[in-house]
Amino acid sequence: MSEQPSPSPSELSAPLPRRVSAVTVSYYTGPVLWQNLASQLAQPELVELILVDNGNTAETRQRLAAMAATELRLKLLQAKRNLGFAAGCNFGAAQARADYIAFVNPDCVLLPETFGRILDVFTQQERVWLCGGRLEHPDGREQRGGRREILSPWRVLMELLRLDRLFPDHPYFRRLHRFDAEAEHSVVEVPTVSGAFMMIPRRYYEQLGGMDDHMFLHFDDADLCIRIAQMGGRVLYAGDVPIPHHLSTSDVSRIFVEWHKTRSSSYYFVKHFHASYPRWFLSLVSMLLWLRFGLIFLRRLPGDLPGILRRAFQRDAETA
């Protein structure tokens, strides 16, 4: 997504109408997709729900087309291939026409008034560029990832080696995920929120140039939050807005996910930390992450191989 001209100070301070364009990127999501769509369409502030189809079964696509024929707010964008999450979000956001964009994972099932309560944060707080909610398991337990520290090479090394156990109370050894600390049920400023659910004024998203397409999967939210901070914006976490999130609903192998996660991490660290960390340290962290991927690959391959082959044959059949 290319960068747009910066808004004037008067434009940035002007209140925005409470209208939301939702962008959801789907890739063989599974049955929870229908709950997700229904929960988004029930939000009064929703102007349009832009579904980017990165890959789905023929049956799912037929059902989506039938749904879009009767629900005018549902807009379907068919990707020619799996664009990845960041590029898929940019693809959908480019079509958005409302003043706010909500990025909602297809495995989130929103509660009533979710959009309205997040919009309240933007009107009640100053310089808010991005706001996330409290990601929860279906049983109400907080999920990891909803509120995080800045993801730095040092913090990754600490997490990989669990160095925090040596100095549990030292600020330099603070864990990445804040859900490990005290529960938070109010609106607070945080370094990073999760891309599973986040809302941003469209003018800010365009000023940022969108997400970084080089990150196929994972770390796109961390990258976005760093760039917001660099431009003087604030990232807030609405701990009083629960977001039920059903994990691992896409029919995709763990190997596929971890491969792209590792690639994105290496790119992310070079992009943001090449000037503040020596090259050898970045190389060490990257090597450890690829070693981790190798171990996951060896452990998961026997169980994942049948699914990988099935998905490959299914894609061939659907594109034939």
Contact 262, 313 (CB under 8 A): no
Q: What is the pLDDT of residues 136-180, one digit of tens each?
A: 998 999 998 899 888 898 888 888 788 777 777 777 777 766 666
**Residue, of 123 and 256, whose pLDDT is higher:** 123
The percent of residues above 90 in pLDDT, for the chain, comes to 63
pLDDT on residue 84: 92
Helix (H, G, I), strand (E, B) or coil at 234: strand
Fold of the CATH domain 9-244: Spore Coat Polysaccharide Biosynthesis Protein SpsA; Chain A (3.90.550)
Which amino acid is residue 127, in one-letter code? Answer: R
Place of tokens 């659910």: 197
pLDDT on residue 306: 66
Helix (H, G, I), strand (E, B) or coil at 89: helix
pLDDT on residue 3: 52
Helix (H, G, I), strand (E, B) or coil at 155: helix
Q: How confident is the model at residue 280 (pLDDT cuts 50, 70, 90)?
A: very high
- Ranked by mean pLDDT, the top range of 102-106, 248-252, 284-288, 306-310 is 102-106
Dist. CA 128–CA 189, nearest whole Å: 9
Is pLDDT of 22 > 80?
Answer: yes
Domain assignments of the chain as residue spans, ordered by start: 9-244, 254-319
Is pLDDT of 320 > 50?
Answer: no
pLDDT on residue 305: 64
CA distances from 113 to 3, 40, 45, 127, 242 (A): 32, 10, 9, 23, 11
| Token pair of 220 as six digits | 């796109």
List CB contacts of 73: < 8 A, sequence separation 6 or more: 41, 46, 47, 48, 49
**Residue, of 159 and 135, whose pLDDT is higher:** 135
Region of 241 on the Ramachandran plot (φ > 0 left; ψ -120 to 50 alpha; else beta): beta
Query: pTM, whole model, 2 decimals?
Result: 0.86
Chain mean pLDDT for the chain: 88
Q: What is the pLDDT of residues 199-225, one digit of tens each?
A: 999 999 999 999 999 999 899 999 999
